[in-house]
A and B are shown apart, each in its own frame.
Chain A
Amino acid sequence: MATTPEPPIADSAITEGGVEAPYPDKPTPVMPYAADFAIAPLLEPRLVEGARDRTMILNMGPQHPSTHGVLRLVLEIDGETVLRVVPDIGFLHTGIEKTCEAKFYQQVVPMTDRIDYLSPMSNNLCYVLAVEKLLQLEMPPRAQYLRVLLNELTRLQSHLVWLGTHAMDIGALTVFLYCFREREELLKIFEHVSGQRMMGSYFRVGGVSMEPPVDFYERVQQLLNIMPSKIDEYQNLLTGNPIWISRTKGVGHLSAEDAIALGVTGPPLRASGVDWDLRRDMPYSGYEKFQFKVPISNDCDVWARYVIRMEEMRESVKICQQALDGMPEGPIKADAPKVVLPDREVMKTQMESLIYHFKIVTEGFAVPAGEVYQAIESPRGEMGYYVVSDGTAKPYRVHMRNPSFATLQAVDKMCAGRLLADVVAVIGSIDIVLGEIDR
């Protein structure tokens, strides 16, 4: 380790001596490890100007029920006023990006389900679109429509969970039961089409995994018929409720400039008055064929985010209806036998299909070298997959850009100077899912 260059970070204490190799048969990395740097606490109490008391440091989470998972917030409070918020994340880190590098391209699809457990189909869609861009595969229209339909149903499902839990955090317990009643129907539809309630892996590279069952469209239609009245029902419980209004209006203010500077996307960005929706502005998977409105608000607060998500649910219902009405005939998989698994019946009767099936399952499929970034509008904001291929059957690098990860940086801005109880409202309003933050 004599050749180790001095790290130029001057304010960190560096321990004397070399770093031990973590695994003996590998060469010692040249860089010193981060563990060598002295680690200061996330937040330290300080003297408030004009007061005799010090501020107090309060831990919120990672087991706090209103942090939606395992988010730890370290709060600096002066009385009941929040001065600073520092999020501490990583409790759910499972190294999915590293694991992806050891899997075939098609084996990564089930892993993407498990990143954001409230919108698995959006993750599936973003990943398969990225790989299809690398392969330069064209999707048949029916596969595109099916993907749009299921992606919008996923948005409905995710927003229902958001509404239920957000309202429960603020104290409106009843809404939760109403939301989960319709969410159950949506999960039954997902189970019907993919065999799983949540981790469906229904979208595959080159299409969707199988033909939807015969009564699938009727069941979706039944749900779409009742959905607008159900959304009215939720809104009747909340919109006129004085407690709900006083807990949300004017709370968690985030200006458009701050939202853009801090990387906020999705409903919180549109609630700050920025007219940006990837479905409309950079369409993918055939979204340019659908007519829908993008709700915008200039209120910049928790209330605006609530209104925007409710409007989005109504628009999602309309998109689903258009997808059902305009569902084209034709194949659900692209014509690429080296990439797409053949149908079961064909595989059993034709030698060539059997060979392709065997080769895809055992060796995967090679993807031409290159790098792509594919972004979609997930229920929480912009989700992006950055996939690098080196020409083999396994991805060289898969990176996920997840909306909650960036939006979490804005919590400090939204909470500083407000009351402690507002932190709960703000966390609910940005709709975080820790699975996708930590990956």
Chain B
Amino acid sequence: MQDAYDKAAVLAEHGANPAIGAIGKSLPDALLDAKFDRGELTLKIAREHIRAAAALVQKSGYNFLEDVTCVDYHPGEPRFQVIYHIVSHGLKARVRLAVPVESLDAEVDSITPVWPSADFYEREVFDLFGIRFGGHPNLRRIMLPDEWEGHPLRKDYPVEGYR
């Protein structure tokens, strides 16, 4: 699943993309990798730069945050990938940011200062995957009761048979 990334090819082919241009110009360290698969552009962003990268992508014209979610690649490392889908109303195009997160220090900067709509999504990811979002205004469980143990969408949490 992780093999399709090819930064050089994407940069050669989609170098004119405003999101790639903005990150490449102001924050080249943030762009770890990129892929263009089935018509969808994915940029892999370093964890410590996600808030700045999100702000750059927003400034470059991708104005609407659609979704924040996560995928658990247990038992591989980095175990988690936090996924952001951002669409541009002007360009009519979508970009996906993927942030790899190690299981030992599962924390990402919250992007609620950039898009307030990330609030519920990040709470959902925290609830179901146990990833903490630094700087989130109200990080608490959203779907499950507050006293629930475990994070159900992790791959080591059984689908049935628990309790």
Q: A residues touching B (Cβ–Cβ < 8 Å)?
A: 5, 7-9, 19, 22-23, 26-27, 29-31, 33-35, 37, 39, 89-90, 93, 95, 97-99, 101-102, 133-134, 136, 260-263, 274, 276, 281-282, 369-373, 375, 382, 384, 386, 388-391, 396-397, 399, 401, 405-406, 408-409, 438-439
B67 within 8 A of A: yes
Complex interface: stretch among B7-15, B16-24, B48-56, B132-140 = B132-140
B149 partner, pick from A30, A33, A390, beta carbons under 8 A: A33
Residue contact A373 to B156, C-beta cutoff 8 Å: no
Instruction: Tell me, in angstroms, the Cα distance from A141 to B3 when the chains sit together.
Output: 34
Instruction: Check A34–B141 contact: CB distance below 8 A.
Output: yes
Q: Which of B104, B105, B120, B153 contacts A409 (CB 8 A)?
A: B120
Is there an interface contact between B156 and A260, defined as CB atoms closer than 8 Å?
no
Are A22 and B64 in contact, with the CB atoms below 8 A?
no
Q: How far is the CB of B103 from chain A (nearest CB, A)?
A: 6
With A34-B126, A98-B159 as contacts: A263 and B143 at CB distance below 8 Å? no
In the assembled complex, B61 has its CB within 8 A of some CB on chain A: no
Q: Which residues from chain A contact B104 at a C-beta distance below 8 Å?
A: 5, 30
For chain B, residues 24 to 59, give those with C-beta under 8 angstroms from any C-beta of chain A: 37-38, 40, 42
Out of A261, A274, A390, name the residue touching B117 (CB < 8 Å): A261
CA distance A405 to B65 in the complex (A): 13
Whether B134 contacts A8 by the Cβ 8 Å rule is yes
What is the minimal beta-carbon distance from B100 to any residue of chain A, in angstroms?
Answer: 14
B152→A386 contact, CB < 8 A: no
User: Contact at B67–A373, with CB atoms within 8 Å?
Assistant: yes
Are A31 and B117 in contact, CB atoms less than 8 angstroms apart? no
A149 to B152, CA, bound (A): 37
Given contacts A22-B162, A274-B89, A373-B85, whether A90 and B143 have CB atoms under 8 Å apart is yes
The 9 nearest A-B residue pairs measured at CB: A263-B117, A401-B67, A39-B146, A90-B143, A93-B143, A399-B69, A102-B159, A397-B71, A262-B117
Q: Which residue on chain B has the smallest CB distance to residue A37? A: B140
Sample 7 A-B pairs with CB under 8 A, ordered by A number: A30-B104, A31-B130, A262-B116, A263-B66, A375-B66, A388-B71, A406-B121
| Interface contact A390-B1, CB-CB below 8 Å | yes
B119 touching A98, Cβ below 8 Å: no
What separation, in Å, do the CA atoms of A343 and B83 have in the docked complex?
39
Instruction: Check A89–B142 contact: CB distance below 8 A.
Output: yes
Of the candidates A39, A99, A136, A406, the one having the most CB atoms from chain B within 10 angstroms of its own CB is: A406
Residues from chain B with Cβ under 8 Å of A99 in the complex = 159
B159: A residues at CB distance < 8 A: 98-99, 101-102
Contact, CB under 8 Å: A263 / B69: no
Residues from chain B with a CB closer than 8 A to the CB of A262 are 116-117
Chain A residues with CB below 8 A from B37, complex form: 370-371
Distance from B48 Cβ to chain A, minimum over Cβ atoms (Å): 14
Evaluate contact between B130 and A23: CB separation under 8 angstroms: no
Q: Which residues of B contact A (CB under 8 A)?
A: 1, 3-4, 37-38, 40, 42, 63-67, 69, 71-72, 83, 85, 87, 89, 92, 94, 96, 103-107, 115-117, 119-121, 126-128, 130, 132, 134, 139-154, 156-160, 162
Chain B residues, Cβ within 8 Å of A101: 159
Which of B63, B150, B153 lies in contact with A33, CB distance below 8 A? B150
Q: How far is the CB of A50 from chain B (nearest CB, A)?
A: 27
In the complex the two chains form, is B38's CB within 8 Å of A9's CB?
no
Q: What's the least CB distance linking B76 to chain A, in Å?
A: 11
Point out the residue from B67, B71, B87, B106 that lies within 8 Å of A31, measured CB to CB: B106
Q: Within the complex, what minimum Cβ distance (angstroms) separates B16 from chain A? A: 20
Q: Say yes or no: A396-B38 contact (C-beta < 8 A), given A90-B142, A102-B159, A262-B116.
A: no
On whether the beta carbons of B150 and A5 are closer than 8 Å, the reply is: no
Q: Are A373 and B94 in contact (CB under 8 A)?
A: yes
With both chains docked as a complex, state the minimum distance between the C-beta of A408 and any C-beta of chain B, in angstroms: 7
Residues on the B chain within 8 Å of A409, using CB: 116-117, 119-120
Contacts of B162 in A (CB 8 A): 22-23
Report whether A34 and B148 are in contact in the complex, using a CB–CB cutoff of 8 Å.
yes
Of the candidates A9, A136, A370, A390, the one whose C-beta lies within 8 Å of that of B139 is A9
Q: A35-B147, A136-B38, A386-B67 are in contact. Are A261 and B115 (CB under 8 A)?
A: yes
| A263 CA to B68 CA, complexed, in Å | 11
Roughly how many angstroms separate A136 CA and B39 CA in the complex, as a whole number? 11
Nearest-neighbour CB distance to chain A for B20, whole angstroms, equals: 18
- Give the contacting residue for A29; candidates B85, B121, B130; CB below 8 A: B130
- Check if B134 sits within 8 Å of A22, measured CB to CB: no
What's the minimum C-beta distance from B1 to chain A, rounded to whole angstroms? 5
B142 to chain A, nearest CB (A): 6
Complex alpha-carbon distance, A371 and B94, angstroms? 14
- Tell me, in angstroms, the Cα distance from A356 to B144 when the chains sit together: 41
Q: With A and B bound together, what is the CA distance between A276 and B66 in angstroms?
A: 13
A134 to B38, alpha carbons, bound, how many Å?
Answer: 7
Are B117 and A401 in touch, CB under 8 angstroms? no
Assembled-state Cα–Cα distance A408/B106 (Å): 27
Q: Indicate whether A384 sits within 8 Å of B67 (C-beta atoms), given known contacts A373-B96, A409-B117.
A: yes
